[in-house]
Amino acid sequence: MTRTARAFWLNEPGHGEIRDVTLPDPGEGEVLVRSLYSGVSRGTEMLVFRGGVPESQHAAMRAPFQEGDFPGPVKYGYLNVGVVEEGPEELTGRTVFCLYPHQTHYVVPASAVTPVPDAVPAGRAVLAGTVETAVNALWDAAPLVGDRIAVVGGGMVGCSVAALLARFPGVRVQLVDADPGRARIAEALGAGFALPEAAAGDCDLVVHASATEQGLSRSLELLAPEGTVIELSWYGDRRVNLPLGEAFHSRRLTIRSSQVGTVSPARPNRSYADRLALALELLADPALDALVTGESPFEDLPDVMPRLASGEIPALCHRVTYAAS
């Protein structure tokens, strides 16, 4: 019997559509998943939607189950939660997370799905990919007890980092963003908040996630001597100007990149699966519900995606719902 599903495709930058796709029957070691939710990030996914992936990074930026190529047509996405309808007995009926695009049903290897812990609601589990990025960033950053830390950029990744740092003993953590509305989210996550001009300085560590050169410049200004900026932003095809004169050398500051595509070398004994499983465990905290700031049906994605990209719909993580079928 031929199975069909519906998938969101980016036809060209700024324009997408829902397409019918034919599903293969699941083979040995594979699962058929029915989507419950998927998530849209305002960061990488919106950059893809706008066509901002530079040609030199087309291979590095491929999502695990991407179809097509940048700038389009391409099926792109990586935050999906569903129910296994067919597959190995130990997975059938389980709610799982998968790095899969926006699609109603899909077939993948059983090894590509991670069971969602019972303590984590399916609707919150769409945040797993972003919390995984935050876990990797903190493995890279190695914060210490009592550190003074700023997280510059209150988007989905920055808020996830702030939420995890708020659990560290004795740490002063402040979320810094130009939008005063982020103060409410910072409070829900247990972190302090400040507008950029009012942020507390003398930081041992700054995690930068605003994807703006103003944010990165401010991150450097907030550091104490010998301090480090962990750079989580990805700028796509944009160039960034930085004040590396002034006191950058005399204060011996460091800018270090962090990227989720590789497990932090600080944890050589951890696998990708270990990191994702940890992220899902951390999502048992209901405070992280604050990161889901909007929701719409899957069928509305061709209209919703341009509005997310333009900022007409303000969002951290926008959740997509799928009708039961």
In a domain, 239, yes or no: yes
Bridge partners, residue 199, by sequence: none
- Specify whether 309 is located in the same domain as 292: yes
pLDDT at 167: 93
For the chain, the distance separating the N- and C-terminal CA atoms, rounded to the nearest angstrom, is 17
- Specify whether 288 is located in the same domain as 244: no
> Which whole-number Å values give the CA distances from 274 to 259, 269, 297, in the listed order?
17, 9, 31
Find, among 35, 44, 88, 28, the residue nearest to 309 by Cα: 44
- Specify whether 37 is located in the same domain as 156: no
In a domain, 271, yes or no: no
* Count of residues making up the chain: 325
Do strands 223-231 and 254-257 pair parallel, antiparallel, or not at all (unpaired)? parallel
Residue numbers of the domain that contains 30? 3-124+283-321
Q: Are 303 and 17 in contact (CB under 8 A)?
A: no
In a domain, 275, yes or no: no
- Tens digits of residue pLDDT in 270-288: 999 999 999 999 999 999 9
pLDDT at 203: 98
All residue ranges of the chain with pLDDT < 50 are none
In a domain, 274, yes or no: no
DSSP state of 26: P
- The CATH number for 28's domain is 3.90.180.10
- Specify whether 78 is located in the same domain as 157: no
- Specify whether 98 is located in the same domain as 169: no
pLDDT at 272: 93
Q: Reading across the β-sheet that carries 148-152, which strands appear in turn?
A: 192-194, 172-176, 148-152, 203-208, 223-231, 254-257
Token representation of residue 276: 């994702």
- Tens digits of residue pLDDT in 78-98: 999 999 999 999 999 999 999
pLDDT at 72: 94
pLDDT at 43: 77
In a domain, 237, yes or no: yes
What is the count of structural domains for the chain? Answer: 2
- Specify whether 102 is located in the same domain as 31: yes
- The CATH number for 238's domain is 3.40.50.720
- Specify whether 27 is located in the same domain as 59: yes
pLDDT at 56: 87
